[in-house]
Structure 1
Amino acid sequence: RGETTEFLGMQVSFLTWNGLSHLILPAINLALFKMSLIIRLARANTREVCLQDYVKFARAKGLSGRRVVLVHVLKNIMIPVVTIIGLELGSMVAFAIVTETVFAWPGMGKLLIDSINLLDRPVIVAYLMLTVLIIVGINLAVDVIYSLLDPRIRLSEMKG
């Protein structure tokens, strides 16, 4: 875990250079698989959107390539990308236990594994409830981002 320093009464290692160097491999482990999925999805959607008539029309109108990509292409590929990011972030939070165990990081995952070994049911239930709360919060954030990305999706129009 590297050197630690005290922050708000706790010993943390991510505030030192040595601690940050020990954080690189776990971060790569958690991000690499998820990042490849998101890159593939974004690439496939970009290829599909670039063939649409409104993108061709924007180019024919003389808009700069940057404006075409940022306004017409990126705005239309973000809905599925945001969906996958939200789902994968939730699964990454839930399954970071394996990474914490492999890299011997003391965290919620180690607490859960120790609680399972000791049959400490209240800690297990509290961990599961916290994980569910985090996933629900991520899904709420994804829904709010939807309404920002797509003007057709507005919360005020969804009255029964």
Structure 2
Amino acid sequence: MRGSVYALSVPSFWLAMMLILMGAVLTGCFPPGGRGATVSILGASWSLFTLDGLRHLVLPALALALPNIALIARLTRSGTIEVESLDFIRFCRAKGLSGRRILLSHTLPNISVPIVTIIGLQFGGTLAFAVVVETIFAWPGVGKLLIDSVQLLDRPVIMATLTFVAAAFVTLNALIDLFQALLDPRIGLSN
């Protein structure tokens, strides 16, 4: 669990630079930045569908995913410890249910609502940190577009980018609320 505390504590820009140092400079396994080879599909250039593009995607994806994975792991661990000490779990053990069945049928449904909430909120945080990570890795994305627009004082592009990010965040939160109602019947959709 020390690794998750470390991953949570490290700023995204420093993590991105350390991934470049370890993955690109010292080992040479991955390219340090850029987009890689692209292929044209429906008039748009996609690097996701080429092997070189996937190699270029590994380090930025790790820089964005590691802190989120650490937070979810810590939340899952603390929720599991809390639920495992409750009476109904002890009753399930006394009944002779297997540990796997207790975990899948009783523990996970009880800790799923806060985990789903944090996952939804982390998507918003990922959009915010993508600005920094895309700039460090020279990845042509929405974050880099925003930084370039701020430097050029291109107000319409800044407003459009921020509107897109806000709409994505609101949509994700609405979907998370609907998903929570499916996970926990006590949460009503009528409110």
Instruction: Indicate the TM-score class for this superposition, using the shorter chain for normalisation.
Output: over 0.9
Give the AA of the match of 2:46. Answer: V
Q: Deviations over 1:64-119 (max 9, x none)?
A: 22221011100011111111111111111122011111111111112111111111
Aligned CA-pair RMSD: 1.0
For residues 86 and 162 of structure 2, what CA distance do their matches in structure 1 show? Answer: 44
Q: Which residue of 1 aligns with 2:49?
A: 15
Q: Which residue of 1 aligns with 2:11?
A: none
Are residue 103 (structure 1) and residue 142 (structure 2) matched? no
Q: Which residue of 1 aligns with 2:40?
A: 6
Q: Deviations over 1:4-53 (max 9, x none)?
A: 11111111111011110111000000000111011011001101100000
Q: Which residue of 1 aligns with 2:73?
A: 39
1:57-136 correspondence runs (5 A) = 57-136=91-170
Q: Which residue of 1 aligns with 2:178?
A: 144
Give the AA of the match of 1:77. Answer: I
- SS of the equivalent of 1:154 reads coil
Larger relative contact order (CA 8 Å, sep ≥ 6): 2
Alpha-carbon distance, 1:140 to partner? 0.6
Are residue 26 (structure 1) and residue 60 (structure 2) matched? yes
For residues 18 and 141 of structure 1, what CA distance do their matches in structure 2 show? Answer: 34
For residues 61 and 55 of structure 1, what CA distance do their matches in structure 2 show? Answer: 10
Same amino acid, percent of matched pairs: 55
For residues 8 and 100 of structure 1, what CA distance do their matches in structure 2 show? Answer: 24
Alpha-carbon distance, 1:63 to partner? 2.0
Count of matched residue pairs: 157
Q: Is the CA contact (8 Å cut-off) linking 2:131 and 2:143 kept in structure 1?
A: yes
Deviation >6 Å, runs of 4+ = none
- SS of the equivalent of 1:105 reads coil
TM-score by length of 1: 0.94
Which runs of 5 or more structure 1 residues have no equivalent in the other structure?
Answer: none
Stretch moving more, 45-54 or 5-14: 5-14
TM-score by length of 2: 0.79
